A and B are shown apart, each in its own frame.
Chain A
Amino acid sequence: DVKVTQSSRYLVKRTGEKVFLECVQDMDHENMFWYRQDPGLGLRLIYFSYDVKMKEKGDIPEGYSVSREKKERFSLILESASTNQTSMYLCASSQGGAQETQYFGPGTRLLVL
């Protein structure tokens, strides 16, 4: 079974802090994705990556950056956390083209005070 793990289930940070969210997948998938999920807005794509050191902006990249140094690991970075970045963050991975099934991690609920 595909397993996608995220470094924390819950995280509380202060405004202005640098925040790292880590995601690891164990199935050698090429593609990895970061989403945020807010009530009424659904899942919104922040960034995705098709290969190591490759990244592409999604629909809402402002205020975020990503890093993919190894195939299995995809990190989301909030350079200076703000209260409007309080959200549920979900990581996903997939094999092949971007149209393939995505496998999601359990999510990280981030609260920025």
Chain B
Amino acid sequence: SQKIEQNSEALNIQEGKTATLTCNYTNYSPAYLQWYRQDPGRGPVFLLLIRENEKEKRKERLKVTFDTTLKQSLFHITASQPADSATYLCALGRRALTFGSGTRLQVQP
């Protein structure tokens, strides 16, 4: 069956370091992959989309990679700040999105 895996354990890092979050999937051939940010009690907010023919995408301090051979996407936040603390969700699909359960990032000042 189709499965999306994100690390369920929270990631704790120091301010200024690079945070790296992982999204692995099985039994999918997605055309694109998206990353969203979700703060407690709020709906997810779109961050980045990467297509299957793109290896890497950047937006300000954010970088996403997409390896369709490994079936994995990495999401990086460079020079992390306490305001980056949130849950980050990956989502993929061809017709409708399927979301991972998310990884909680905590950036310590």
Contacts of A103 in B (CB 8 A): 46
Contacts of B34 in A (CB 8 A): 101
B70 within 8 A of A: no
A98 shortest CB reach to chain B, Å: 5
Q: From residue 35 to 61 of chain B, which have CB atoms closer than 8 A to chain A?
A: 41-46, 49
Q: C-beta contact mask, B9-52 vs A, less than 8 Å → 1, else 0?
A: 00000000000000000000001101000000111111001000
* Contacts known (A42-B99, A42-B102); A104 close to B89, Cβ less than 8 A: no
Nearest-CB residue, chain A, relative to B95:
A98
Query: How many of chain A's residues have a CB under 8 angstroms from any CB in B?
Result: 24
Query: How many of chain B's residues have a CB under 8 angstroms from any CB in A?
Result: 24
Interface pair B32/A41, CB less than 8 Å apart: no
Q: At the interface, is chain B mostly helix, strand, loop or mixed?
A: loop
Q: Give bound CA distance, A104 to B89, whole Å.
A: 13
Q: Give bound CA distance, A43 to B31, whole Å.
A: 20
A40 within 8 A of B: yes
* Contacts known (A42-B99, A42-B101, A43-B99); A99 close to B43, Cβ less than 8 A: no
* Contacts known (A98-B93, A99-B93); A104 close to B45, Cβ less than 8 A: yes
A99 shortest CB reach to chain B, Å: 5
* Contacts known (A41-B101, A99-B31, A101-B34); A107 close to B46, Cβ less than 8 A: no
Interface pair A107/B8, CB less than 8 Å apart: no
Nearest-CB residue, chain A, relative to B46:
A101
Residues of A within 8 A of B (CB): 4, 33, 35, 40-45, 48, 56, 58-59, 90, 92, 98-99, 101-107
Closest 8 A/B residue pairs (Cβ) = A104-B43, A42-B101, A43-B99, A101-B46, A98-B96, A42-B99, A104-B44, A99-B32
